[in-house]
Amino acid sequence: MAGDAGVRIERLAALLDEPLLVTSLVNVRWLTGLASSNAAVLVEPDGDATLFTDFRYAQKAGKLDVRFEQTARAVVADLSTRLAGRTIWIEAHVLTVAANEQLRAGGVETIPQQGLVERLRAIKDEAEIATMRGAAAISDKVFEALAEEQFTGRTERDLTWRIRELFKEHGSPELSFDAIAASAENGASPHADVLDRPIPANTLVTVDAGCRVDGYASDCTRTFATGDLPDELARAYEVCLEAQQAGLDAYGPGVGGRDADAAAREVIAAAGWAEEFGHGLGHGIGLEVHEAPTVRPESTDELCAGNVVSCEPGIYLPGLGGVRIEDMVLVTDGGRERLTTHTKDLIRVS
């Protein structure tokens, strides 16, 4: 990620009354461009910023467009001395209680805050959108190739290894999360454990997978049929697809996350499966697979242009099977644009 560190830090600074110590590594990466396992950045309300990391990342950090100070391996312990006597905001949803106590013991006054950088990250800039378009395009190619694969008789685990290979063949060796392939009754679990069990004929197989491009994730789900389906599964697929379209149609700037969720949920409830759709309709996607904003019944977020969110209703029928259909969607000034465009017609695989 190149990103424009200056612009991002300035936007964050405008939200601050006190200096914010950013300790989320994803937030540090987004603000400064440093991908590491150990770093922090202190952003001052006037827009000044200092990046702290240890020897292992010093060379990378030194090349970035932000002031850098090398610390000991224990960054927070080191900062408890450097920042002694100062009052700072901390990322209360990230910093551990132990690390906070360490800062306070060193004489740093800490005030908990939450989600400041995440709120900014939720709105993607042009470069981020271009990168995520690329990640979504790789997903499209993988799902297209997957339709040519043998499913029946192959284990779910073997299929997920093949998915990993397909992502590499189509341009990204890095998955955004362990791919899920869940067949028959295993598909009735939204986050199924992949089994070492052959995929049966005449059922549904839910495949949820994604890759990373320059740190940015893709996330897409399609559900395949291994032959003729029992009537209930065939109907569940149709209802899920209709619900997904209703959700997509609702996405747009100014729309409440809970209202978009309701648009899809109503379709599933009308089919009698309200209880069988037990998760939210969508989540933001970016440097993290799950980030702001949320699209679910209890969401207080409002969608806005630049958000990249999933739209993924599911219907889970215990003992029988499940279906989920998921696209990555960019919220635009005029409405929305699907970033994953692979067909949602029910694909029959061998």
Interface residue list for Zn ion (CB under 5 A): 208, 219, 221, 310, 326
Distance of CA 341 to the CA centre of its chain: 18
In the complex, minimum distance from the CB of residue 280 to Zn ion, in angstroms, rounded to a whole number = 10
Pick from 85, 86, 90: nearest CA to 112? 90
Measured from the CB atom, the residue of 80 and 218 that comes closer to Zn ion is: 218
Pick from 239, 235, 245, 310: nearest CA to 268? 239
In the complex, minimum distance from the CB of residue 174 to Zn ion, in angstroms, rounded to a whole number = 16
Check if the beta carbon of residue 27 is closer than 8 Å to that of residue 51: no
Measured from the CB atom, the residue of 208 and 276 that comes closer to Zn ion is: 208
Q: Cα dihedral sign for 14, 16, 18, 20?
A: negative
Measured from the CB atom, the residue of 5 and 192 that comes closer to Zn ion is: 192
In the complex, minimum distance from the CB of residue 225 to Zn ion, in angstroms, rounded to a whole number = 19
In the complex, minimum distance from the CB of residue 283 to Zn ion, in angstroms, rounded to a whole number = 6
Measured from the CB atom, the residue of 32 and 221 that comes closer to Zn ion is: 221
Measured from the CB atom, the residue of 40 and 192 that comes closer to Zn ion is: 192
Measured from the CB atom, the residue of 23 and 221 that comes closer to Zn ion is: 221
Helix axis angle, 257-270 relative to 231-250, nearest 10°? 150
Cβ neighbour number for residue 101 with a 10 Å cutoff: 12
Measured from the CB atom, the residue of 221 and 299 that comes closer to Zn ion is: 221
Measured from the CB atom, the residue of 221 and 294 that comes closer to Zn ion is: 221
In the complex, minimum distance from the CB of residue 77 to Zn ion, in angstroms, rounded to a whole number = 37
In the complex, minimum distance from the CB of residue 115 to Zn ion, in angstroms, rounded to a whole number = 20
In the complex, minimum distance from the CB of residue 97 to Zn ion, in angstroms, rounded to a whole number = 30
In the complex, minimum distance from the CB of residue 266 to Zn ion, in angstroms, rounded to a whole number = 21
